[in-house]
Structure 1
Amino acid sequence: MMRKLISLAAVAGAVIGAVAVTGAGSASASSTTFLRLPGGPTLEIPRAWRVHRSADQVHVVTGACAKPTGHYFEPGCRGFWVMGAKTLKTGGEGFRRYNPVNGPFYPAVDVAPCPANPKLGHVLGKAIAVGYRNIGQGHKAHYRVWPGRCVTYDDATEKSTFTQREWYLPKERLLIVDQWATPGLATVLKNATWAS
């Protein structure tokens, strides 16, 4: 079976809504395709996942999503994000530089909408899992799981919960953020390949 590579083009300031799959020969019946991250790993992802890029961000939509080219805090959009160095400069709470030791990825100064319900705000607590996870062979990412609560804006009554998982590669300055417990994502990252 012939492997195909995703060829992604980023246009300055514009979001590309389609991904071109390139390769020699006839089309493969494979249920997966490849997503190459700039300066980082290549991920083998399900073909059903849709990839959108803007600046140094990649949004991989894995399920229902009304606005796949929306911003990071776009509610009701199942998937995960890959953030690059430029985004990480203002990726901490209060638009500080992102550092997993100081807190989660949260580029805001106010309460952002809950991932599943825009009528609720979300609050992230102290990390409940801290360690390292492999992203491909020989590349360890800082790994954190942050508990999230979806609360009412008027009196902060908790209505639901979620977790925010983060894999951070400091050398490559890449961060993967998942608020949807994306099935199979941990395995996709563990099986990533790197250029020699």
Structure 2
Amino acid sequence: MRKTAYALAALAGAAMLVTPMVASASTSSASATSASATQILSFRGMNLTIPSSWGVYRDGDRVKVITGACGKPSAGYFTPKCDAFWLFGPKVIKYGHEGFSAYTPERPFYPASDVQRCPFNGKHGQVLGKATVAGLRQVGPGHKAHYRSWFGRCVKYGNGEQTATFDQREWFLPKSKILVVDVWNTPGLAGTLKRATWS
């Protein structure tokens, strides 16, 4: 079973404190109160137009975007039962592989050294396998990301019985030093990244 760390220990210590990020809203006055209202999320020059209902939490070189139910919005990476995706910058990427070596798209983002919890059920562990999809993806004009989708399994700690599966999707922009990680198959995220703008 793959080993992984419980938190980004080299970067965040034992607990991660996050504060809500103020994102600039991008809505017309007619639709300001509608469910289709949007906001602009900016990170390292990349600007994403996301629903205003999504919660955005920034902690230095990390941004957590909560897209649905989340038991612990301020908790760190690997926290189960939190519909969210992450944006990471160079400080996190530097320690993004198992054992805290530097991230590259050849291996999944797994900044840990022990077995981590399943995204859906904290009583089970997770195992990441091979990439099922690999290639380049457009992230706004003039920017291409190394894209990978890694096959993940949730397994019981005692006997390794599989209880669920998931895909860990990653978009890595080496020049911009941005990594986007999503284990919840967030609807519309691929299109949102494709329509990104840059400043």
TM-score bracket, normalised by the shorter chain, equals: 0.7 to 0.9
> CA offset at residue 19 of structure 1?
2.6
Query: What per-residue deviation string (whole Å, max 9, x for no partner) do you get for residues 18-45 of structure 1?
Result: 535468x96961611111112x310000
- Structure 1 runs of 4+ off > 6 angstroms? none
Instruction: State the Cα RMSD in Å.
Output: 1.9
What SS is found at the alignment partner of 1:156? Answer: coil
2:92 to 87, 101, 107: 87
Paired letter, 2:54: W
Whether 1:16 and 2:13 are equivalent positions in the alignment is: no
Q: Which has the higher contact order (CA 8 A, sep 6+)?
A: 2
Segments of structure 2 that go 5 or more residues without pairing to the other structure are 1-15
For residue 191 of structure 2, the aligned residue among 183, 187, 192 is 187
Q: Distance in 2 between matches of 1:149 and 1:182?
A: 18
Structure 2 residue aligned with 1:134, among 133, 138, 142? 138
For the residue of structure 2 that corresponds to 1:143, the secondary structure is strand
**Normalised TM-score (structure 1):** 0.87
Q: Secondary structure at the match of 2:99?
A: helix
Tell me whether 1:112 sits opposite 2:116 in the alignment: yes
| Conserved? CA contact 1:19–1:50, under 8 Å | no
In the alignment, the residues of structure 2 paired with residue 158 and residue 52 of structure 1 have an alpha-carbon distance, to the nearest angstrom, of 32
* Structure 1 unaligned spans of 5+: 1-12
Change (3 A) 1:142 1:160: same
CA distance in 1, matches of 2:22, 2:78: 22
Q: Does 1:74 align with 2:48?
A: no
